[in-house]
Amino acid sequence: MRGEFPVYAAPPCKAASPAERVWTAAIRIYSVCLLLMLSVTAMSLVNEQARAQCAPRDVMRRNPSFTASSSGTTQPAPIEAAAGTRVWKSIQVGTFASKRALYGTFEDADCGIGDTAEEILVAPEFRLSSVATNIDLVAASVSELGIKRENATLKDIYARAQNLGFMLAAAEVGPQLRLQYLDQPMGEFLEIAMAPIRTRDGAFRIFTVVNGGAGLLLLGENASDDAKFYPSSRFVFMRQRDVAEMHQ
């Protein structure tokens, strides 16, 4: 008919050859593998970020020279007695009515709590004082206590400090110091000289107050019998106020 366009029939679909089918299947498998690899990479990045708060501390543990004084700096003289040692910092304990209130303050202060530190906090042996009290703290390295050898045990460190007149701190000092020491310099790690607390995994732990470059953190430290500490490791002890005042 005039004016009408010719109608062409569509050519029949050509069946894919065996080689084309194999190639298509290979592309699909490659795409699935690529997606899996991207997912694993993303999960690895998240895990690395979760471990980031502890990574700087691990580096310093493996390299004690990071926290040691430089060769041009005079090493502090060994401590002769607690009474003649200046107070490093005074804090207040007994300011929280419950552990829930303590956790809330950590969130408000933007301070982090490591997994091991949390295990200490939830342990029944961790208790909060019911009376607000001001206490004096002294921070001293293992070498300042008079222990020069490498890898001193916690038992040796505590015994030496108590012979000098220092006292072990209550466990509450750990979180309280973290919250009241917001200007902690980067790279400082302070072990809290406290009676070790057994956590759910059966291990004994103490608190560590840290600024390792990933924020202000409260972490947990191994306090088992075989735990060793470098001469540069610094511990926070409590100094009795009335004894110190009598010698001033």
Size (the chain), residues? 248
What is residue 14's predicted lDDT score, i.e. its pLDDT? 55
pLDDT, tens only, 119-151: 999 999 999 999 999 999 999 999 999 998 888
pLDDT (average), residues 95-110: 94
Task: Please check the confidence at residue 242 and state whether its pLDDT lies above 70.
Answer: no
Residue 174 pLDDT class (50, 70, 90 cuts) = very high
pTM of the model: 0.71
What is the bridge-based pairing of β-strands 188-192 and 234-239? parallel
What is residue 241's predicted lDDT score, i.e. its pLDDT? 72
Beta bridge partners of 113: 218
Task: Please check the confidence at residue 71 and state whether its pLDDT lies above 50.
Answer: no
What is residue 20's predicted lDDT score, i.e. its pLDDT? 63
Question: How big is the chain by its Cα radius of gyration, in Å?
Answer: 30
Q: What is the mean pLDDT of the chain?
A: 81
Q: What share of the chain is helix, strand, coil (3-state, %, to 5)?
A: 35, 20, 40
Domain boundaries, the chain: 15-51, 66-246
pLDDT (average), residues 62-84: 63
pLDDT, tens only, 151-164: 899 999 999 999 99
Task: Please check the confidence at residue 2 and state whether its pLDDT lies above 70.
Answer: no
pLDDT (average), residues 224-232: 92
Q: Where is pLDDT greater, at 126 or 68?
A: 126
Q: Where is pLDDT greater, at 18 or 55?
A: 18
Whether the Cβ atoms of residue 219 and residue 114 lie closer than 8 Å to each other:
yes
Neighbour tally for 46: CB within 10 Å: 10
| Least confident range of 45-49, 95-99, 109-113 | 45-49
Q: Give dist(CA 30, CA 214) in Å, integer.
A: 38
Q: Where is pLDDT greater, at 48 or 89?
A: 89
Task: Please give the single-letter amino acid code of residue 214.
Answer: A
What is residue 48's predicted lDDT score, i.e. its pLDDT? 43
Whether the Cβ atoms of residue 143 and residue 231 lie closer than 8 Å to each other:
yes
Task: Please check the confidence at residue 56 and state whether its pLDDT lies above 80.
Answer: no
Residue 41 pLDDT class (50, 70, 90 cuts) = low
Whether the Cβ atoms of residue 152 and residue 229 lie closer than 8 Å to each other:
yes
Task: Please check the confidence at residue 40 and state whether its pLDDT lies above 80.
Answer: no
Task: Please give the single-letter amino acid code of residue 21.
Answer: R
Query: Which SS3 state, helix, strand or coil, does residue 138 take?
Result: strand
Report CA-CA distances (Å) from 107 to 92, 101, 113, 128, 219: 19, 10, 10, 18, 15
Backbone angles phi, psi at 187, to 5 degrees: 95, 0
Residue found under tokens 């303050």: 105
Q: Where is pLDDT greater, at 185 or 40?
A: 185
| Least confident range of 40-54, 100-114, 191-205 | 40-54
What is residue 135's predicted lDDT score, i.e. its pLDDT? 96
Query: Which SS3 state, helix, strand or coil, does residue 13 take?
Result: coil
